[in-house]
Amino acid sequence: MSEIRLERQDEYRWLIPVEGNMRVPGLIYASEEMVRGLTGDESPRQVANVAELPGIVRYSLAMPDIHWGYGFPIGGVAAFNREEGVVSPGGVGYDINCGCRLVATKLSFDDIRERVRDLVSALLRNVPTGVGSTGSIKLSGQEERAVLEQGARWAVKNGYGSVEDLDMMEDGGCLPGADPECISDRAMKRGKEQLGTLGSGNHFLEIEVVDEIFDEEAARVFGLFIGQVAVMIHSGSRGLGYQVCDDYLARMVKGIGSLGFELPDRQLACTYLSSSLAREYLAAMACAANYAWANRQLLMHWTEETFEKTLAASPRDVGMRLVYDVCHNIAKMEDFPLEEGMTTLCVHRKGATRAFPPGHEALCRRYRSIGQPVLIPGDMGTGSYVLAGTDKAFRETFGSACHGAGRTMSRNQAMKTSRGRSIGQEMAKRGVIVMAAGKTTLQEELPEAYKDVNEVVEVVHRAGLAKKVARLRAVGCIKG
């Protein structure tokens, strides 16, 4: 861990004391076994590096799915005040607003038990997947700008879903302040033909079944029941978001010398929140975030059509309904209680999920009594969890929880581990039908490449950052 010293605070919190140029301590949420697994990993060093950035508030945080990332660790959370703080694209990530949405149905597993393979095959045909994939929607320049400004609202206006869907999305599926003028021509070009596409790598569309319920009241409010068929969609802003990150990192790297302090890592290139460059980046980032919300809205639409056609069922019989949509990679201005009172902070969540508590005004009426749905997907052989945000998360982690299981192997390591194996056949024996567009995707994404999501979620639950509501098991999955 690059000589990083961890001091145990309690069963699930580990402190990195202030040393060198750190302005605040680091704090990692993990079990003892997970901490042992960080030996030789650079992610704790990244937590300490983030703590050197000006204007950081309280702690540099990391969730139990922590692993090495670009600049910030994946699973990293950091909040900065507006007067002295910075914004860093490395604290958001290349896939801006990579996120998850959970879609519930009226179907039970018995309704699809014999049709899972048919559904997975049809989804792979109907949902564009893979590197550089393009969709059936070809945007004009004017239409693309509308997507960047309106997000999921654009999709709903154009017949993809209902107005009720917008209530079930973080920020209503549209981040304010988006300005297409801050997007490069190259980014616009990359986004024109990729709307409504899943992408590659760890992105997926998964058929799941509600397997266990931990909180009956919360599950009822979220509309979940044992044996229910649901769909988890994991995708982001595609090439457009990647290009936005790349463009602004290049501009910020050029300005490193004028920051007035020494960066511990060039990957933490940043700019002061008070600067015009910060305003431009946040406006461009909002555009990419909105593109991602529109993208997931279209993916849900293709999924609904596929279910209805494959099962020869009516929309009423399938009954697809958006439970919630959360983003993972984002920087947002949010208000939190500090010693001096409610304060607006720029919260970076890099591979972390917002977990707002009951009563928060950002939540729709339906969920306000329970707390925000927190969606935690696992590896393709396991399934996912639904949790609810808590007051403790709001006080301790700026309303944040983990975003998934977190990798333990690089893709190269996973390829070596899976050599000579048929991952698809292995998954089928475990009761999961998996299909992918890419030749090596299943090898790169084998279950052993990830931490055990059950253990990760248990840390979040026991640490009080989010409470478990339901567990879903995977039965079918498509990947790029």
- Sign of the dihedral through C-alpha 55, 58, 59, 65: negative
Q: Under a CB-based contact definition with an 8 Å cutoff, are residues 381 and 454 in contact?
A: no
Phi-psi sector, 53: left (phi>0), alpha (psi -120 to 50), beta: beta
CA distance 389 to 374: 7
Structure tokens at 375: 């969606």
Cα angle 184-326-329, degrees, rounded to a multiple of 5 = 45
**Integer angstrom CA distances of residue 352 from 28, 91, 434, 443:** 13, 11, 26, 25
Based on DSSP, count helices (H) and strands (E) in the chain, helices before strands.
Answer: 18, 19
What pLDDT is attached to residue 2?
54
Containing 397, the helix (H) or strand (E) segment is: none
Q: Under a CB-based contact definition with an 8 Å cutoff, are residues 20 and 10 in contact?
A: no
Total residues found in the chain within this entry: 480
CA distance 150 to 156: 10
Burial class of residue 312, CB neighbours in 10 A (0-12, 13-18, 19+): exposed
What pLDDT is attached to residue 438?
84
CA distance 385 to 222: 13
Q: Under a CB-based contact definition with an 8 Å cutoff, are residues 370 and 388 in contact?
A: yes
CA distance 389 to 355: 4
| Residues 6 or more apart in contact with residue 161 via CB below 8 angstroms | 152, 155, 297, 300, 301, 322
CA distance 103 to 97: 18
What does the pLDDT look like over 270-311, one tens digit per residue? 999 999 999 999 999 999 999 999 999 999 999 999 999 999
Amino acid sitting at position 267? Q
Kindly name the residue from 234, 328, 403, 461 that is annotated as catalytic.
Answer: 403
- Residue ranges for the chain with pLDDT beneath 50: 1
CATH architecture of 7-87+97-479: Alpha-Beta Complex (3.90)
Q: Where are the domains of the chain?
A: 7-87+97-479
Active site (annotated) includes residue 348: no
